[in-house]
Structure 1
Amino acid sequence: MSAALPRVSVVIPCFDYARYLPDSVGSALAQHDVDVDVVIVDDASRDDSVAVAEALAAQHPRIHVARHRENRGHLATANDALGLASGEFVVKLDADDLLAPGSLARSAALLRAHPEVSFCYGWAEEFTGTPPVLPEDPGRGFRMQVWNGDDWTRRVLRRGHNVIRQPEVMIRRTALERTGGYDHRLPWAEDLHLWLRLAARGAVGRVAGPTQGLYRVHEKSLMRSAGDLELTDLRWRIAAIDLFLLEHPGGRYEVDELRALGLSSLAREARALAARGFDAATALADDLDARSGARPIRSLTARPDALGDAWRDVAGRLRWRRWRRFGV
């Protein structure tokens, strides 16, 4: 490998994902125009994940395997994996997800062209079952988009959703070291918290155009492990934003402004959930409105009738289109 190529560490936390591991690792090793090393950290898997990982390492000198003797949970495993990264840039890839062809070269090109950027992301396509087949080298059609970190934070808080799935993210290792990894107090939405903290310390980039990652949806994924998935996710996003604002380096006025943006947006989402029969969401929305300090906004998405159903469907479609086109 030429020393001029960007060095990228792809870190893969793994627990009981032996069946997915070869494809995940393979998607990293197949990347072109970058110098890739792969770190697999197994969290005391009960299947043959370790055997699969060690067999892969025996075939590829760029793969390093570490293992926990006792299960430590997904956050500790992810942080251990991040801590073992030695490349200029770092990609955390869950063992059931995949990198799109050419994604690392595109992300690394953006980070090298814009040294002020802490991390960049792109579009991650969801799939179930067999991964979709993507073009081998779609690199010519992408463009670079860069936001000031504060501007990106305001856009994300105004939306209230996590706009990043994760296999599409590349982080500058020096920015990661300054920021720290995932916060153990957030077993859910810990990634949203990390993106906000990184954005508070640098600019944010986006690879616009081609698919950058493939996000596998299946019944055993962490995001499918909660009974009331949408309400659980909302509550943890609230906790992530609260924690971010508590530690935000800005002044009181800036923090108050960000709180009003984030919590009022989440309050509208809570009222939409209440309209769909999540009774606990009503009290949650009232609390968010009160804490935001902003004037409560009553949207059509909060109507518990057919008009509300129709408007929620339209709003969801528009939100998806905006996300796909603009990245926020």
Structure 2
Amino acid sequence: MKSIVIKNSYGLDNVSTEEQPIPTIQSNEVLVKIKSISLNQLDLMIAKGALGTKLPHVLGSDAVGVVEKTVNSISKFKVGDVVSTHFIQSWQSGNLQASNLLNRLGTDVPGVFSEYIALSEDSLVKIPANLTTEEASTLPIAGLTAWEALFNVGGLKEKQTVLLQGTGGVSIFALQFAKSIGAKVIIISSSDEKIEKAKLLGADEAINYKTNPDWPKKVLELTKGAGVDLALEMSWAEIGKTTTVMRFGGKIAVVGLLGGANVNLSVFDINQKNLSIIGVQVGSKASFEEMNKRIETHDIKPVVDKFFPLSELSEALDYFDKGKHFGKVVLTF
């Protein structure tokens, strides 16, 4: 079988496909034939060495496929079921525990970018009935992170306002989920073309932060000075701008570090506005299943910017790395 591997040294140029043996399932595992995978910033970070991952390493956290083989002890799935991977495998429900972070797919253990994978039934979730395998492959990290940030961390309610940064997978899922409950969405982007696409998906307001570097002033104008109830922080580099647009008692859910891990931050707004800044680590399997129900009920369709065959892996990585995408990028086996 083919697997996507980073080896020898870090860098996207060192990511390639190689032949590996089809895994043999153990007593608690399911063999899945993978149909589609989707890219995340996490994959790029690992390939570039940001996490110091030991090489060689099979990349990937997001994959969807068809159950090909089970053992007698498996009760949740049967041959032919279409399933998605669950990133933080041991986080089944409740609050995240430190021990849950020891077996994250593609991070602390080998990834799932292979033609076949063997995982425990706790590490798999049935996909929403209204989605294709390609669409469902976008859910494990981007979809679930958006869900967790909006509802379990952010507590977003109808008629409240959320600020979204950029138009990558998490932000676009958050836009769709927020509109499904009747919340107001303000989104910022550096591309007028992407802003127009976001408006077509229901964004109430959109700001180009390159042509409007003082975008916080515009956000405050749009909220009549009150500020936003919730912000999904993607950059971290300008977290100070985010704090200025928050309402009193607002929440900032940190879901990305695209601007780097370090920043000079004044605590004045945090203290004076009684703000909460909370890190988000995707979500539990119970949350995944809850999200899938919402996707089915509201017939929410993930936004896939572009599909690539596995033979165009290098092109897909380059396209994703340069931030050309709106929503998600999917590869098919």
Could you tell me the TM-score, scaled by structure 2's length?
A: 0.29
Could you tell me the TM-score, scaled by structure 1's length?
A: 0.29
Between Structure 1 and Structure 2, the one with more helix by share is 1
